[in-house]
Amino acid sequence: MTDSRPAQSTAEDHVILMEADGTPCGLAPRATVHTPHTPLHLAFSCYVVREDGLVLLTRRALTKRTWPGVWTNSFCGHPRQGESFPEAIARHARHELGMSVLTPEEALPAFRYRAVDASGIVENEICPVFVALADGDPAPNPAEVMDLRWVSPMELTSLVELSPWTLSPWTVSQVPQLRGLLEPVPASAP
């Protein structure tokens, strides 16, 4: 089966650089930004929940530049210039998970982190965290996701507490702050 998703244009694949105070200060090609000296830039994390209350965890593909093979939140990404967070979330949900999500709600608007991968690559992001409702089942892009699992919020909290080394550092930091927020987000009434 071939992947029918359109390839992302490298001209469009950029990140928004940020000042320490959260002010945008330029653009840079995404492929050139994640290095041992990654500048502060804008991103987002999204946790997808089903109506039954389970949360989608994904395992990053082994080909990922940072934290390959590590379990993490449902998906992350970078908004493009002129793109709202809901638009970026919809784009990344389609690209990474092959699915749609509904009603992304900002859960941690001021989250930011800096972490260094074992390879020395740095993540340095202003990264608001969103919770969205699953609209269908995932069909993950193998270049992005090598495995996935639906877990209860309690299981996720236990995983962070008992074996944080199995998870991305942003997930380990986010989950304690998300207590009570990883509940299904009601879909808008028609």
Q: Write out the catalytic residue numbers.
A: 76, 125
**Contact (Cβ atoms closer than 8 angstroms) between residue 109 and residue 128:** yes
User: What does residue 137 show for φ and ψ, rounded to 5 degrees?
Assistant: -100, 145
Which 8-state DSSP code applies to residue 125?
E
Measured torsion, CA atoms of residues 117, 172, 125, 183, in degrees rounded to the nearest 10: 150
Q: Please give the structure tokens belonging to residue 5.
A: 């998703």
- Residue 172: helix, strand or coil by DSSP? helix
Separation of alpha carbons 153 and 55, rounded Å = 7
d(CA 19, CA 179): 29
Residues 6+ apart with CB under 8 A from 177: 108, 111, 129
